Chain A
Amino acid sequence: MKLIEILNALFPAGHEVGTFGQLIAGTAQTSSSTVAVLGTTDAAAIGHDIALGLAGRILDIVDQHPGRPIVFLVDTKGQALSRAEELLCLNGSLAHLARCVDLARRQGHVSVALVTGEAVSGGFLSFGLMADKTYALADAQVRVMDLKAMARVTKIAHERLVELAGSSPTFAPGAENYLSMGALEAIWDAPTAALLESALDQRVAKGLLVDGRMDAGRERGGRSLAAQTVAAVLAA
């Protein structure tokens, strides 16, 4: 789906969202309020410029529009891969972006992330996975690495990985796997205003900063060892 179609579907009451290279930013109307819209498009590789561009806009929202909900649209193929980016500590800029999302949450900004295209590794970690709740469209691609590359790196036969992927959500690409492991709240067949507004309301109802993803993973049967291990460390 094109970005404009997604925005029209999510915000029939209106939106003013601009694209700045592959960064997207602006505001939109829901039936109850004005929300900030931030994110990336066209499978952006996240480098310093996008990370700092998003981080600065989040700080502006926190300082100038207290409490305004934030909708993150996620479409990233991962971090930018270059020596120049690493020279200036790209992990530091991604950490800074993550801290800005975290600050917004702590200051009471409801946040919802929607994966509209790709969600890969570092790019996904730095903002999509930092929101209160993360959702994905049905055709979204969520992954660390595709199975062919994984087979090369791990030296495990591709056929074996494909076979195992049928019975385990632990390593293979796919939004369903992230849903069953608790990292996604739901997968949407199509973007709609009703789904988005319900997602924004859920956080208001819960009103909690607690990270419940491993508990969700256990309840859904996709990830049970994590919650069990945390409980054991707390009790030791």
Chain B
Amino acid sequence: MNAPVHTQLALRHSYFEASARSRVAQLLDAGSFREFLPPEVSQPSPHLAVLGIPGAFDDGVIVGSGQLGGKPVLLIAQEGQFMGGAVGEIHGAKIVGLLRRAIVERPAAVVFMVDSGGVRLHEANAGLIAISEIMRAVLDTRAAGVPVIALVGGSCGAFGGMGIVSRLCSAIVMSEEGRLALSGPEVIETVAGVEEFDSKDRALVWRVTGGKHRYLTGDCAELVEDDAASFRQSTIDLLAGLTEPAPGSSALRTEQKRLTQRRERFAGMRDGLEVWAAMGMARPAEVSLMDRDSLVAAKKGLPA
């Protein structure tokens, strides 16, 4: 098991840099993936064609079925390298179709590999409505007892409506490189000015939207290294213990309390460093240098 260091490095596949198809192949049990609507039976978006923009036969999202650690799953993988993974009419409908299929087929879970800036502006209305349909479909799938696990670690992160969708899922697995938020830093900078949010300050962007921050504040369930094998193992581990209780007000009351208290506790703060200090991290400035395991251990040691 103790492979030489250079071999270990060679075995690591950055999830952040990988294409959606390569992520799917590395996440699932070898050879188990079956794609629904593969490119040869799909059509690119006519809404892009009319604008003279080249389309993709899969419209930037892959849906299908496979096995994960021997359990049947349905899977969605957005391709951040096509139109920023943004949701148009066909893209969104493929996701809705997959989620509705899960209600019929009842797999162990739906794995949702999110990599998206949100609504595709070229199909703005269709994209917004599709995201609303995805939101309801995620909640319908969960209400039917099928967990939906979001993986956030792609180059486009999970922004806009896809940030909302991710937080509607049963659990989020995130890498440090992953980003999860509503408005992108560029949008805030454009509207409110560079003093409000300097989108070119990468360290700041990660302290506000990145995986370590979201993990420390409990907005994602698991933090993993940026490699496909870590996402795979973490998802398998989550699957083992995840159940979907019937929707009810008690769980939402607990969340309401958590969000309300947090709003008061961290009022006026504008940087992850302030939040981590207030949470009791002894040396918040070192968070960005910590490896995944050290950060997970540090979080366990924080006062309740």
B-binding segment of A4-12, A14-22, A35-43, A178-186: A178-186
* Cβ < 8 Å to B, chain A residues 83-115: 83-96, 98-100, 102-103, 106-107
- Contact partners of B209 in chain A: CB under 8 A: 86
Contact B164 A94 (CB under 8 A): yes
Q: Which residues of B contact A122 (CB under 8 A)?
A: 160-161, 164, 182-183
**A171 in the interface (beta carbon within 8 A):** yes
Which chain A residue has the least Cβ–Cβ distance from B168? A95
**A154 interface residue (CB < 8 Å to B):** yes
Q: Which of B141-193 touch A at CB < 8 Å?
A: 143, 158, 160-161, 163-168, 180-183, 187-188, 191-192
Q: Check A103–B97 contact: CB distance below 8 A.
A: no
* CB-defined contacts of A99 to chain B, threshold 8 Å: 139, 168, 252, 255
A232 contacts across to B, CB distance below 8 A? 36-37, 97
- Whose C-beta in chain B lies nearest to the C-beta of A122? B182
In contact, B219 and A230 (Cβ under 8 angstroms) = no
Dominant secondary structure at the B interface = helix
Q: Please give the distance in Å from A215's CB to the nearest CB on chain B.
A: 11
Residues of chain A with a CB closer than 8 A to B200's CB: none
Residue B21 interfacial (CB < 8 Å): no
Report if A129 contacts B (CB, 8 A).
yes
For A232, give the chain B residue with the smallest CB separation: B37
User: DSSP majority for the A interface?
Assistant: helix
Chain B residue nearest to A167 (CB atoms) is: B50
Contact partner of B136 among A86, A102, A160, A231, CB < 8 A? Answer: A102
Contact (Cβ within 8 A) B247 A103: yes
Chain A residues closer than 8 Å to B303, beta-carbon distance:
none
Q: Which of B100, B124, B166, B253 contacts A230 (CB 8 A)?
A: B100
User: Contacts A145-B121, A170-B125, A233-B98 hold; do A130 and B136 have CB atoms under 8 A apart?
Assistant: yes
A residues within 8 Å of B by Cβ? 48-49, 52, 55-56, 59, 62-63, 79, 81-96, 98-100, 102-103, 106-107, 121-122, 124-126, 129-130, 143-145, 150, 153-154, 156, 160, 164, 168-172, 177-178, 181-183, 209, 211, 213-214, 217, 223, 225-234, 236
